[in-house]
């Protein structure tokens, strides 16, 4: 009875997730080569690093505001070689902007192009951001996060259900040992019928890649349901929610918030102090974000505590008026839950182990799509067989006797 229940759960969970997993699988395969595809589609946005001294974050923010005077800078991200992404928002009373990010050359500050991350793509600059939006929230802000969050939770649970179903059924009488009876679950009989080969492929692929599928399922919960992920992780590990998932409101303070130049100086000073205190070295600055709705600035660098191939997530939050340090977030070596989360995120983002792993992640996306399609095929064939059996075994109506006229 329990095994039959798990079969039922696996079947209907798989059917409910199929469409969503196909979308995230295919888009994830593309995003494994995000940089290369972006450079191919929009070489003007990502021209590559060139010689020269790069401008600091405050200067780039001011440059962006001079190019678009009806807008103000909100974020400065310097993690792309040869291209700085400035998040822009309309000033009070100004009409809405028809873009969200302004790309500048980091050396001389000239404009490279404009990008929109939400809604349907209107220019080629928006294509890869749209793919990213499909992958992360179905290109539906708000509701898409909740939908994919529910899918991620079901997927996480279904990973364990699917693994259980690969194990030999209990109560089987056989002289063979457990592993000998489990061995067929790892194999694909290509010379058997198409249905059997399809079934074996579904089971074996899920088993061989089980650990990575679980990594992707649970890390998806982190991206889409950060509050749930935080509470679950805090049950067993020392963990603090990431900056973007923390709620906060500006404290009452009559002083005006810092300008970009003062914020940059404060961020550099505070980060240097934290580096000396916690024993890490700063490799390069990455971002300066003005979180106006929270009354904070975030200053981010790549440090010796980062493990990814690109960028980094060593960051501090400080009050935008007093300059007081609020929190330090180190990707590894500080909090056990944060270290685990960093590994999950970098594995999910294909930001480890170079090109071979990115190829592997691209293949994983295709495997997720294949598992969804083969699962639907298995269900359809079994359903067709059951319906055919019902039709064969159903009692035929007895013709009524004819009476002479």
User: Mind listing the pLDDT tens digit for each residue in 218-272?
Assistant: 999 999 999 999 999 999 999 988 776 665 566 666 678 999 999 999 999 999 9
Positions in the chain whose pLDDT score sits under 70 = 1, 170-174, 244-254, 398-405
Looking at residue 176, what is its pLDDT? Answer: 80
- Nearest partner of 301 among 289, 281, 286, judged by Cα: 286
H-helix or E-strand spanning residue 194: helix 194-208
pLDDT of residue 2: 82
Q: What is the pLDDT of residues 117-162, one digit of tens each?
A: 888 888 899 999 999 999 999 998 889 999 999 999 999 999 999 9
Rounded distance, CA 200 to CA 112, Å? 51
pLDDT, position 49: 81
> 295 is written with which tokens?
């009354």
- Confidence (pLDDT) at 120: 86
pLDDT score, position 1: 57
DSSP 70: T
Q: How far is 240 from 341, CA to CA, in rounded Å? A: 10
What pLDDT sits at residue 268? 97
Predicted local confidence at residue 248, as pLDDT = 59
DSSP lists the bridge partners of residue 114 as 102
Cα dihedral 124, 125, 127, 133, rounded to 10, equals: -160
| pLDDT of 9 | 94
Structural tokens at position 145 = 């996060």
pLDDT of residue 395: 76
DSSP letter string, 317-331: EEETTT--EEEEE-S
pLDDT at site 171 = 60
Tokens matching residue 346: 């970098």
Relative orientation angle of helices 2-31 and 354-393, to the nearest 10 degrees: 140
Contact (Cβ atoms closer than 8 angstroms) between residue 24 and residue 135: yes
Which pair of structure tokens corresponds to residue 167? 């194990």
């Amino acid at each position: 009875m329990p095994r039959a229940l798990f079969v039922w759960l696996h079947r209907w969970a798989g059917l409910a997730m199929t469409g969503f997993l196909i979308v995230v699988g295919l888009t994830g395969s593309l995003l494994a080569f995000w940089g290369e595809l972006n450079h191919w589609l929009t070489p003007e946005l990502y021209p590559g690093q060139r010689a020269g001294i790069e401008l600091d974050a405050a200067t780039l923010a001011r440059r962006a505001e001079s190019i678009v005077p009806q807008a103000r800078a909100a974020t400065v991200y310097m993690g792309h070689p040869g291209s700085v992404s400035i998040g822009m928002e309309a000033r009070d009373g100004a009409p809405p902007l028809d873009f969200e990010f302004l790309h500048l050359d980091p050396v001389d500050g000239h404009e490279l192009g404009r990008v929109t991350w939400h809604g349907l793509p209107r220019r080629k600059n928006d294509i890869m951001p749209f793919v990213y939006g499909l992958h992360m929230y179905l290109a539906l802000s708000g509701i898409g996060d909740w939908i994919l969050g529910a899918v991620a939770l079901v997927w996480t649970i279904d990973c364990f259900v699917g693994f259980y179903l690969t194990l030999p059924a209990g109560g089987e009488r056989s002289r063979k040992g457990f592993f000998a009876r489990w061995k067929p679950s790892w194999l694909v009989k290509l010379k058997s019928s198409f249905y059997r080969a399809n079934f074996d492929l579904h089971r074996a692929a899920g088993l061989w890649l089980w650990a990575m599928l679980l990594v992707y399922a649970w890390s998806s919960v982190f991206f889409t349901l950060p509050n749930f992920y935080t509470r679950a992780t805090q049950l067993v590990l020392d963990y603090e929610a990431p900056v973007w998932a923390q709620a906060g409101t500006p404290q009452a303070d009559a002083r005006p918030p810092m300008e970009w130049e003062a914020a940059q100086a404060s961020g550099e000073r505070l980060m240097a102090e934290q580096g000396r205190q916690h024993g890490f070295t700063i490799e390069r600055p990455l971002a300066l974000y003005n979180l106006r709705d929270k009354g904070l600035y975030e200053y981010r660098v790549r440090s010796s505590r980062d493990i990814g191939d690109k960028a980094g997530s060593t960051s501090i939050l400080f009050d935008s008026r007093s300059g007081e340090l609020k929190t330090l977030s180190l990707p590894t070596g500080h909090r056990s839950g944060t270290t685990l989360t960093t590994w999950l995120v970098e594995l999910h983002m294909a930001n480890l182990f170079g090109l071979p792993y990115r190829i592997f992640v691209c293949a994983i996306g295709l495997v997720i799509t294949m598992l969804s399609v083969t699962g639907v095929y298995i269900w359809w064939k079994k359903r067709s067989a059951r319906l055919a059996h019902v039709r064969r075994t159903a009692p035929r109506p007895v013709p009524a006797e004819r009476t002479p006229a």
